[in-house]
Structure 1
């Protein structure tokens, strides 16, 4: 069995989750740990009882440790440098979201992918949720007819401290990307075509950048997806999975992100307010969810050679929604999701 000679870059908080999961994989061999803070890397190695050398420089690690897989859990601003260097050294890369923090960084990674012939897989743990997957099956079954509107609300007052407090777009870059990816997942992988976004920072916010946003996307096929969110909203918190309303031609699905989803389906055609019937949506248990489920799927894809569900070719479409939202917020105009150019909305 081929082994994953694995180097982990970035020994911060999220890396602990990855290490705990990867230690259960029999074909994962740890060959290096990398962090700009060598002391943190040494503490990480001791905590997880790893027999791997510590580096404070990615390029030196790639030369000396010769991994074939690099796991990148470093801060988003470092993603381009880490991923491009790893690809150019012949490594496959598994990384935390987002794909990259800017469109320019993403384009550089895509170019390196094309040159290297290697693979880049991105963690999108929030699509690995049994209720969300049940909703997608209900949509695909035609339960509510043709989906025409998808709306998601996310309101949590999150006091992280650290690097998020200083980001220009902490909500869009670090959290909304999850919801954008979930929306695409619900719509069978549909791409967004246009974006319009107002990003702002309320006076009471403890963030330096835009902690709140209202976005609207035109999706291919004609569905409209709206997102309202804030990381500086106190009280009546939503779920971390967001609260969802999916409106179809024959009814609506509601999910609060925590309980079981349900549908309200039109029963009779002739009425001012047409009578509807409440229907519970069957939810299948999953053996693993979240990070564990996504990571297992990515490793299985690498082992078999098949595309991963969150392969770069797909995940870039979720990331482009994030870039377009930030570009629209900067220009106060609608933009094309594909390239950020101005566009007149068809709405």
Structure 2
């Protein structure tokens, strides 16, 4: 299914919803892009929006508490949704229904059920909804994938992630801060490296005695993936000393060799073969923004389109369920329950019709994904 493109002159005019840390990161990246223009910042707290606007240095930058009203008032072409996860669904629904394409922060929504509803709404409106999994936009990650190309079938992908951030705020109070707020990045990168979706997961989470988090800040998860490969995640958010990069430390074991990547520098492969670095995807948020703009201008399929991204959130939801239930969880069970919930909760009859038209969740999602680009 295609999405509507824009045929307008000049930079893409954008409103950012959310004036927190991520919202401010987006405003900086929009200002740095020659192809984008920041025209407004929205936040439920007027003082936060005004403070973020002042920090941009843009004289008279528009602010407001209603992102859609602000977008309409400023003539914005699209919306960047940098609100908290619980607000991702309602803000994106309002934007898509108002005819605004959306570039959203991860996760796609607070639950897989909400993510499925947003995928159906994007189909119904024809508007692009892309999720920014910014870790995908790292040149070394793409180089690691290219180095795997000549090594045959991949059997094991493993990542160690050890950091000790003191965030304060909502993360310190979350039930599963590592799995819910961070691990989705590594889960999504594993899907990219393997060109595969998850089948099942066994997960255990726990909280070291010295942890400053209320919820479990450490976890081990083993995913069975399409094609038979295994992906293992071993991580902690309360491990000071000898910390890994924020991308983690990776080992990928294939039929004829191994690729190592520390998450920041160029990966190494043994044996070391020539490789084609492929397309330049840009880096981090700037890469997400660049691909979003290219998609809207030229109709090119972006990484992270809602249909492609939902499976990464399903990995998180399945992992937390596995840890809570003490058993292996099938991804299809999570998708089926989420689909049932999405249908039960949907109040828009046209979106409901789209959901009911899907032959299955996996078929609906896989028919519109471009993870391997």
Q: Please give the range of the TM-score, normalised by the shorter of the 2 chains.
A: 0.7 to 0.9
Q: Distance in 1 between matches of 2:267 and 2:245?
A: 13
Instruction: With the length of structure 2 as denominator, give the TM-score of the two structures.
Output: 0.81
* 1:87 aligns to 2:96 (yes or no): yes
Aligned partner of 1:15 in structure 2 is 23
Aligned partner of 2:283 in structure 1 is 289
Q: Distance in 1 between matches of 2:274 and 2:45?
A: 48
Instruction: With the length of structure 1 as denominator, give the TM-score of the two structures.
Output: 0.86
Task: Give the Å deviation of 1:339.
Answer: 3.9
Q: Which runs of 5+ in 1 are unaligned?
A: 266-278, 343-347
Aligned partner of 1:163 in structure 2 is 170
Alignment counterpart, residue 226 of structure 2, candidates 188, 198, 220 = 220
SS in 2 for 1:91: coil
Q: Distance in 2 between matches of 1:281 and 1:334?
A: 40
User: In 2, are the aligned partners of 1:68 and 1:90 still within 8 Å (CA)?
Assistant: no
User: In 2, are the aligned partners of 1:261 and 1:280 still within 8 Å (CA)?
Assistant: no
User: In 1, are the aligned partners of 2:202 and 2:222 still within 8 Å (CA)?
Assistant: yes
User: CA distance change for structure 1 residues 233 and 104 in 2, over 3 Å: closer, same or farther?
Assistant: same
User: In 1, are the aligned partners of 2:64 and 2:70 still within 8 Å (CA)?
Assistant: yes
* 1:3-82 to 2 correspondences below 5 Å: 4-26=12-34, 28-50=36-58, 51-58=60-67, 60-61=69-70, 64-65=73-74, 67-82=76-91
Q: Distance in 2 between matches of 1:198 and 1:173?
A: 14
User: In 2, are the aligned partners of 1:84 and 1:108 still within 8 Å (CA)?
Assistant: no
User: In 2, are the aligned partners of 1:101 and 1:173 still within 8 Å (CA)?
Assistant: no
Task: Give the Å deviation of 1:73.
Answer: 0.9
Task: Give the Å deviation of 1:283.
Answer: 8.7
Q: Distance in 2 between matches of 1:137 and 1:260?
A: 12
Task: Give the Å deviation of 1:177.
Answer: 0.7
Q: Which runs of 5+ in 2 are unaligned?
A: 1-6, 337-373
* 1:1-347 to 2 correspondences below 5 Å: 2=8, 4-26=12-34, 28-50=36-58, 51-58=60-67, 60-61=69-70, 64-65=73-74, 67-140=76-149, 142-143=150-151, 145-188=152-195, 190-265=196-271, 279=272, 288-340=282-334
Aligned partner of 2:3 in structure 1 is none
User: CA distance change for structure 1 residues 120 and 341 in 2, over 3 Å: closer, same or farther?
Assistant: closer
User: CA distance change for structure 1 residues 105 and 29 in 2, over 3 Å: closer, same or farther?
Assistant: same
- Give the superposed CA RMSD: 2.3
- Structure holding more helix per residue: 2
User: How many residues were matched structurally?
Assistant: 326
SS in 1 for 2:228: coil
1:50-91 deviation line (CA, Å, top 9, x unaligned): 444321234544665564311011111211111111111111
User: In 2, are the aligned partners of 1:320 and 1:338 still within 8 Å (CA)?
Assistant: no
Q: Distance in 2 between matches of 1:155 and 1:222?
A: 27
SS in 2 for 1:54: strand
User: In 2, are the aligned partners of 1:121 and 1:310 still within 8 Å (CA)?
Assistant: yes
Task: Give the Å deviation of 1:16.
Answer: 2.0
User: In 2, are the aligned partners of 1:195 and 1:217 still within 8 Å (CA)?
Assistant: yes
Q: Distance in 2 between matches of 1:37 and 1:256?
A: 40
Task: Give the Å deviation of 1:284.
Answer: 5.2
Instruction: Pick 1 or 2: higher relative contact order, CA cutoff 8 A, min separation 6.
Output: 2
